[in-house]
A and B are shown apart, each in its own frame.
Chain A
Amino acid sequence: MPKITYVAVDGTERSLDVPLGTSVMRGAVVNDIDGIVAQCGGNAQCATCHVYVDETTIDKLDPARQNEDDLLDFTASPRRPTSRLSCQLEVTSALDGLIVHLPERQN
């Protein structure tokens, strides 16, 4: 299973094996990681599963689609070039080693 690393605001890291086909958001929720709210349950409606992808691993991802890009303009913590919605990041083998930083606030 691809390994995804979640970095909390205080710098605490947790690396988890996240099943293929699920999402980076689900990986956090199911493993009880704080800092991802995902109020709409992964339907790309709320922008409360915002993450900053670590610059060293950003190349693992395809660019955001229009819908995700639109929502990223409305995150509670500031949007940065590395901002993504974790519910839209489907876990594939290409994501192995991905590092995401959790933002200060989600709503």
Chain B
Amino acid sequence: MKAGAQPSSVVIVGAGQGGYQTAASLRELGYPGRITLISAEDALPYERPPLSKAYLKGQADFEQLWLRPVTYYVRQSIDLVAGTVREIDPAARTVRLADGSEYDYGHLVLATGARPRTLDVPGAGLRGVHTLRTAQDALSLRASLAAARRTVVVGAGFIGLEFAAVARESGGEVTVVETLDRPLARAVSTRTAEHFTRLHRRMGTQMLFGRRVAALHGNSRSDVTAVELADGRRLPADLVLIGVGVTPRTELAEAAGLPVNGGITVDSRLLTGDPRISAIGDCAAFPQVRSGNLLRLESVQNAVGHARLVAERLTGVHSAYDELPWFWSDQFSTTLQIAGLAEEHDTQVVLGDDPDAFSVLLFHGRELRAVESVNRPRDHMAARRLLDRGVELSPDDATTPGFTLKAHLASRQGVSAAVR
């Protein structure tokens, strides 16, 4: 392939949201070459967010999770292949599947995602112990949940809490066990974390922090019966969800000799060390444009944003990845929306007097870094624009009586257009 020329074929490994979007965006941008989308799951690409929400509750059939029906892939000449990739040969530019079949690529996109971490304790393999990542996982959880009386959720991250809410709504006893001293510790401020602790407790869920799981116990049929904590306490359980984070799937990249550092390492254009291989979404560690720090994000927005950038690059538009991250989580009837990243913050300003509807503005120095909105969608949307456009907002502005993000955005639109 000559510099600047489009590759004659693109092979995408992984048909989650990022893999699907790469194929879809390539066609949208008029890419005429062959596109092969390889899925380890023998199913049409589907949405994952409902797996811990509506789908888990039985409110949606699998077909309703499809990103597109089969006719779409036919119409767009996107070859869907079900199979597990065993090996990448960067020199020969081929990928080999477990069944021995081989695919040549002009460009390869790794959208391999991540797998749930498991607990390294005795009894982790008992029946009734689940993780949640795929539609198949959700289906088996849904079946277990219908019969479960006592559920223990290990890990108070997004998956753990979303599942805990569904389990509680389905009527059983629910206990959440977390090693850290608060929920969502890596994702949100203490103020927002406290809100979710209160919410789950108010709904009748037992929340245990600063506790480590030592073992899982089962009966003679290998069904889980209890979770033992490091302090010796035993929590009876007939269903256990392990929600202790994910590990990016980097094995194929490593075996192919590509750099890996907490994810498949890519540059700001999402290229790996090999100019014919990109990596996107949950599996990719990419540099933040401002700090240069490597970042790996697990979100629909990140997967879709990465996919679009790669599709643009492959069709001739070169840019660095600089999209504002955003996330959301639904628990009971509460929606949390986050715009931006606040790994570092020293000042916070809370908007709203309602304890169940507020936004937390997180500043580092005088710079707004992130906004967490609980049941305040208007704040969230305004925050996304403010942060995306680099509109200036100081803690002093935000504490002025009558301040709203939307009004501030409206008053600075003229300024922001000049900035961007």
Contacts and interface: CB of A to CB of B under 8 A. Distances in A.
Interface of A: 22, 26, 29-32, 39-41, 43-45, 47, 66-67, 70-71, 73-74
B325 to A, nearest CB: 13
B103 interface: no
B187 to A, nearest CB: 16
Interface string B380-410: 0100110000000000000000000010000
Contacts of B384: 74
B49 to A, nearest CB: 6
B64 A40 contact: no
A39 B304 contact: yes
24 contacts: A26-B64, A29-B69, A30-B64, A30-B66, A32-B68, A32-B69, A32-B71, A32-B72, A39-B300, A41-B49, A41-B65, A41-B300, A44-B377, A45-B328, A66-B377, A66-B378, A67-B335, A70-B377, A70-B378, A70-B381, A71-B381, A73-B381, A74-B381, A74-B384
A34 B397 CA distance: 43
Contact of A30 (B63, B328, B335): B63
B300 A40 contact: yes
Interface string B310-351: 000000000000000000101000010100000000000000
Given A40-B300, A43-B49, 13 more contacts: A22-B64, A26-B64, A29-B69, A30-B63, A32-B69, A40-B49, A41-B47, A66-B377, A67-B377, A70-B378, A73-B381, A73-B406, A74-B384
Interface residues of B, number: 26
Interface in B102-151: none
Nearest to B48: A41
B50 interface: yes
Nearest to B75: A32
Contacts of A30: 63-64, 66, 69
B67 interface: yes
Contacts of A66: 377-378
Contacts of A26: 64
Contact of A43 (B68, B71, B328, B385): B328
Interface of B: 47, 49-50, 63-69, 71-72, 75, 300-301, 304, 328, 330, 335, 337, 377-378, 381, 384-385, 406
Contacts of B300: 39-41
A31 B66 CA distance: 11
A65 to B, nearest CB: 10
Contacts of A41: 47, 49-50, 65, 300
A35 to B, nearest CB: 11
A74 B385 contact: yes
Contacts of B337: 45
A43 B330 contact: yes
A101 B88 CA distance: 45
B323 to A, nearest CB: 11
A66 B49 CA distance: 22
Nearest to B337: A45
Contacts of B72: 32
B67 A29 contact: yes
A37 to B, nearest CB: 9
Among A31, A66, A67, A71, the one with the most B-chain Cβ atoms within 10 Å of its Cβ is A67
A29 B72 CA distance: 9
B382 to A, nearest CB: 8
A19 B92 CA distance: 49
B327 to A, nearest CB: 9
A40 B305 CA distance: 12
A29 B66 contact: yes
